[in-house]
Each structure stands twice: as C-alpha cells, then as structure tokens.
A and B are shown apart, each in its own frame.
Chain A
Amino acid sequence: MSAPSLRQAAGLALLAALAIALPFAFEPRGYGIRILCLALLFAAMAQAWNIVAGLANQISLGHAAFFGIGAYTSTLLLIHFGLTPWLGMMAAAVLGGLAALLISLPTMRLRGHYFALATLAFGEVMRVIGNSWGGLTGGPVGISVPYAKPSLGLMQFADTRASYWLMLGALVVVTVIFVAIKENADAAEVIGVDTTRTKIVAAVISGALTAALGTLYAQFQFFFDPDTVFGVASISVRMAMIAIVGGIGTAAGPILGAFFVIPLEEIANQVFSAQAAGLSQLVFGVLLILVILVEPRGFMAIGPRIRRLLRREER
C-alpha cells in the first residue's frame, strides 16, 4: 500500500474519533453496548480467520479450536494461580499459536476441501477433549470466571464502555496485523518466496490472535462451556460467515460483516426466540446461502458494482 493520501488519513482519523466516542451514545451498562462489544469481538475474530482464508487462501472450519484454547487457558490460570488475564492472554496466544503450528504443519499442503475437512476435525477433537477432560475444564457443565471487584488488572469492568474500548483496541490490532501480512504476502509472491512456509506463518499468527480473543470473550461473558467456545456453528462457521458476508480477503470486510450479522442475530433472537427455537439460526443459514449465491465476494464487492453501473449510465 502506498502512503495514504491526506484525504484518506483525515477519513481514518474521523472514523477513529467516531468509534471511540460511540459508547457515550449508549447506556453504560445497557443491552445496546453489549451488542456493540460482541460485534467488535466477532469482527476481530473474523479478521483473524481472514488472515488464513483471505491471504493463505485456505478455508478453515476449525478456528473454534484456538478460540476455546484461549478462553480456557486464561480462565484456568486465573482460577488456579490467580494470574491476571492480561498475562493469561499472552499464554493463550502462545498455546493457540502452537496448536495452529501443530495442525498446519501436516495439513497446509492440502487443497480446498481437504484442508476444510482436516480443520473441521481438529475443532471437533478439541470439543471432545473439552467435554471429556472434566478434571481440567469442568466438562460439559461449563466453567465460570471468578468474579472479583472490578479492576483493570483483572480485566473486569463495572462499566461496559471499558469493555467496548478493549474490544475496539483488539479489532484495531488484528486489522493492522492483517494489513501488514497482506502487504508482505503480496511482496513475497512477487519475489517468489516459499508459499507453504508463508501460509504456515499466517496460520500460526491467526491461531495466536484467535486464542487471545478467546480470553477477551471469557472475561466478557464470565461463563462458557466446551460446546460454545469449541462449537462449529457458534464459533468456527460464524467467524467465517462474517468475513464472507463482508468480503473475504479485504480489511474492511470482516468489520462490515460483523456489524451486519451480530446485531441482526440479536434482533432475530429477541423477536423469534420466544416462539420458536431455531428460527434465528435458520435465518442465519438462509442468509449465508443467499450471500454465496448472489455475491460470494460479499458487501465489499457491492460498492464497486454500483459504481460501475453508475459510470455506465453516465456514458
């Protein structure tokens, strides 16, 4: 990417100011701000997924493995050793990166469907372990993050706005890393660097980031179980779907996708859940199919499409 023009820089600065000020428009402990937090967190997760899918061109259906590792690592370290989640998050990232290395070394050579199948199985392995190793994880009943007096050191806040800024920071970090790797990958391809190695590096970074985000999730929700954090539908597919809806391989795609999918899902849950379980998930599936059939490149492709149409009209 060339140096951003003055106009682009001004636009980014305005966007940043808006993003930072946004929570003041919401009730500090209300429902609205919680949805914003989740949207930011899922945007960051989709961005981490995007590193492997968009740049290494490999479709992972098992990123929940890293996410769950992150959630359990920091929570168990906090419970057993009183370790602050800030350090727990570092440990989570290390373990997440190692797990990604372990699974990518033998599978990164695989193409398309085969890689998707291997990662799907890896996520399921972690879910089975999480459910059956009750002595460590607490098993299927789940685990609670010990509740303490709110403090920055324990990453627990009385004011949800603080969580918002934390999630926002996480999204910025992951996005900056995505952009940096993207530029690197473009350059590497020109020089002709070993692409399998580049892909494995991308997978390790993606796994480490996803695990760190798992820690943020645990500290935000205070309770989780193996089927949630290691879930195929709840995590792996949702991360992927957000990136796809927004625009796979683009930096803005996962953010657009998350701010569309997460609020929509919350609204659907509010409206439908009383009448029928499954309806909001059904909507989710139909949406995924529609995006794939209508515009598999997501929202990011719609802008240029419209612009092209307009230009044609001018002539």
Chain B
Amino acid sequence: MAVVQAILDGLMIGGVYAVISIGLTLVFGVMGIVNFAQAEFLMLGMFVAYYAWAWLGLDPLLAAPLAFAVVFLLGAALQHMLIRRVLKAPEVAQIFLTVGLLIVLENAALLMFGSGFRSVSTPYQTSSLQLGPLFVSVPYLAAFAMSVASGLALWLFLKSSWFGRAMRATAQDPMAARLMGIDADRMHMLAFALGVGLTAFGGAVILPYLTASPTVGTQFAVLMFTVVVLGGLGSVAGAVVGGLAVGIIQSLSALVFPIQLQNLVLFVVFIAVLAFRPKGLLGAAR
C-alpha cells in the first residue's frame, strides 16, 4: 500500500513539475535555446503570490494568474532586450547569456526580498482527504488541479488559436512560417513570455506547501531539465509525461533512500537519459 500511496503522491507533485517545465520546453521548441534561468521565474512567481497574500490577503491559488501576468510581461521585455540578440549567436553565447540572467535574477531577488524564507498560511494547509486506505493532501491536490487546468488552457491555446498555430509553425519551419507572413520575432516573444509565465504560475500554486526564498530556484533547476530531457527537449506532451515520471521516481525513491539522496537518483536518471536517449524517452516527437 505504501507503494500505491507513493505513486499517488508522485502524481500530485509530478503534475506541478510538468507545468513548470512546459515553459522550458516551449522556449527550446520555438527558439532552440535552453533557458538556464527558467527556475528563477518560478521563484519570482512564488514571490508575486507571497506579496499578493501578505498585502492583499489573496490566496496563492487565486494569485497564480497574477503571477503569470507579471512574469509574462517581464519575460516579453527580457526576450526583446536580451535573448533576441543571441538567437543566431554561437551556443556558448546562448548558454552564458541565460546563465548570466540566472545570476542577476537570483541576486536581484536577494537584494529586494532579503535572504529569509517566506511562507503563507491557508485554511487548507494541513488538511487531507481520505480515499479508502489512501490519503491526498489538500494543498498538493489543489496545486495539481491548478496545474492540470493551466496545462489544458495552454493546449487549447496552442491547438486552436491563431497565435498558437503560428507559434507551432515557427517552431516547425521558421522559413515557411515567415513566408506565410508570421512575424518570427513576435512569436519568439510570445513563446518566451508564455514559457516563463507558466513557470511562474506553477511557482504560485506550490506556495501553500513550500517556502519561498531567493535561492529556491536551485532546488528546481536540474529537476526541470530532467523533466524536459526525459520527455524530449522541445516536446510539450513529453514534458507532461516527464513531469509525472519525475514526480513518481522522486516519491518512490523516497521509500528506499534517505531524503538527501532523492535528488541524486534524479540526477543519475537525468545523465543516463542524456547519454543513452538524448532525444528523450518518447523519441524525437515534437
């Protein structure tokens, strides 16, 4: 029964991992760069939600759209000012531009918010539901539900809106998309803003069970890379599968290993996948 419970817990956190990682894979799929600073936007989302709670008394789940909106705008600005300039540059420039951005965002947060840990209190924080012999913690369930909702919204957007289709076209064949009158620059801006905004949304919904701090991103950085590499870099559907898989691997390994070694299992899986299936477990599907 402990195993079933662990799989259930893993699914709950895995749903969140999927949503925070979709942004990373979206940016890679459309623009061909890996955003090493992606996890910092999760941190920013957590802080937006934290201040919305502290100043306005807003529940983090309700503040999630606000976190999305704020970080969406920030992402559009960063894409326009910085990322756009290295899209055709050598990989070393692309890698270290986003690494520089990571350092700047983390330390700017340290200056603005201080190094302390911030947490919110909500009425449902410690409650849990019982399903026969299994338990589901309410904040985890809520974060999972919000993640599924935002994932579905993104899917609908990509599938049926003009912008979504234009964005997918840009990812598939930038030249053809340009010939059809799609402005690639605008699509890149939209993809980057949407990508980091979605990650910030995920940051907000996990605030009821995690504490925010300027360095919280480091906990998530390699985890997010593992998710997207498992599913295949650039594949949105892959990120969903990868997110759930990582959640389950993490909670199953918690049954066997001490807590400090949980991430170790993840890193080993990550390196193994990179080494043997660099296109992801699902193959090269986009």
Contacts and interface: CB of A to CB of B under 8 A. Distances in A.
A25 interface: no
Contact of B93 (A103, A131, A285, A296): A296
Interface stretch (B54-62, B200-208, B261-269): B261-269
A284 interface: yes
Contacts of B274: 106-107, 110, 114, 117-118, 121
Given A279-B107, A281-B107, A292-B86, A121 B222 contact: yes
A241 interface: yes
A248 interface: yes
Interface string B91-134: 11111110111111011101100010000000000000000000
Given A107-B271, A132-B261, A288-B99, A296 B278 contact: no
Contacts of A117: 34, 225, 229, 270, 274
A132 B261 CA distance: 7
Contacts of B275: 106-107, 110, 118
Interface residues of A, number: 43
Interface string A224-243: 00000000110001001100
A289 B271 contact: no
A285 B103 contact: yes
B1 interface: no
A110 B278 contact: yes
Nearest to B228: A117
Contacts of A233: 103
Nearest to B91: A112
A244 B97 contact: no
Nearest to A293: B85
> Which residue, A110, A128, A277, A285, has most C-beta atoms of chain B within 10 A?
A285
Given A107-B271, A118-B275, A292 B108 contact: no
B33 interface: yes
B160 interface: no
Given A106-B276, A113-B95, A282-B108, A128 B271 contact: no
A286 B100 CA distance: 7
B89 interface: yes
A120 B226 CA distance: 11
A232 B264 CA distance: 16
A61 B229 CA distance: 17
Nearest to B103: A285
Given A128-B260, A129-B264, A277-B115, A289 B93 contact: no
- Secondary structure of the A contact surface, majority rule: helix
Interface string A70-83: 00000000000000
A284 B92 contact: no
A97 to B, nearest CB: 19
Contacts of B284: none
B103 A284 contact: yes
A55 to B, nearest CB: 13
A240 B96 contact: yes
Contacts of A285: 100-104, 107
A284 B90 CA distance: 21
Interface residues of B, number: 48
B222 A292 contact: no
Given A110-B278, A284-B103, A293-B97, A125 B268 contact: yes
A116 interface: yes
Contact of A288 (B28, B89, B100): B100
B82 interface: yes
Contacts of B91: 59, 112-113, 116
Chain B facing A: main interface SS: helix
B127 to A, nearest CB: 32
Contact of B110 (A110, A122, A278): A278
B258 A132 contact: yes
B24 to A, nearest CB: 11
Contacts of B278: 110, 114
A239 B202 CA distance: 33
A124 B274 CA distance: 15
Contacts of A241: 96
Interface string B201-229: 00000000000001000100010011001
A276 interface: yes
A304 B106 CA distance: 35
Given A59-B92, A296-B92, A113 B103 contact: no
Given A106-B275, A278-B110, A278-B111, A292 B93 contact: yes
Contacts of B34: 113, 116-117
A258 to B, nearest CB: 17
B267 A53 contact: no
Contact of A118 (B86, B90, B271): B271
Contacts of A277: 110-111, 115
A232 B111 CA distance: 20
29 contacts: A106-B274, A106-B275, A107-B274, A107-B275, A113-B28, A113-B91, A113-B95, A114-B274, A116-B91, A117-B229, A117-B270, A118-B271, A118-B274, A118-B275, A121-B222, A122-B267, A124-B267, A233-B103, A244-B96, A278-B108, A278-B110, A278-B115, A286-B100, A288-B103, A292-B93, A292-B96, A293-B86, A296-B89, A296-B93
Given A116-B95, A118-B271, A282-B111, 5 more contacts: A59-B95, A110-B274, A244-B92, A244-B96, A296-B92
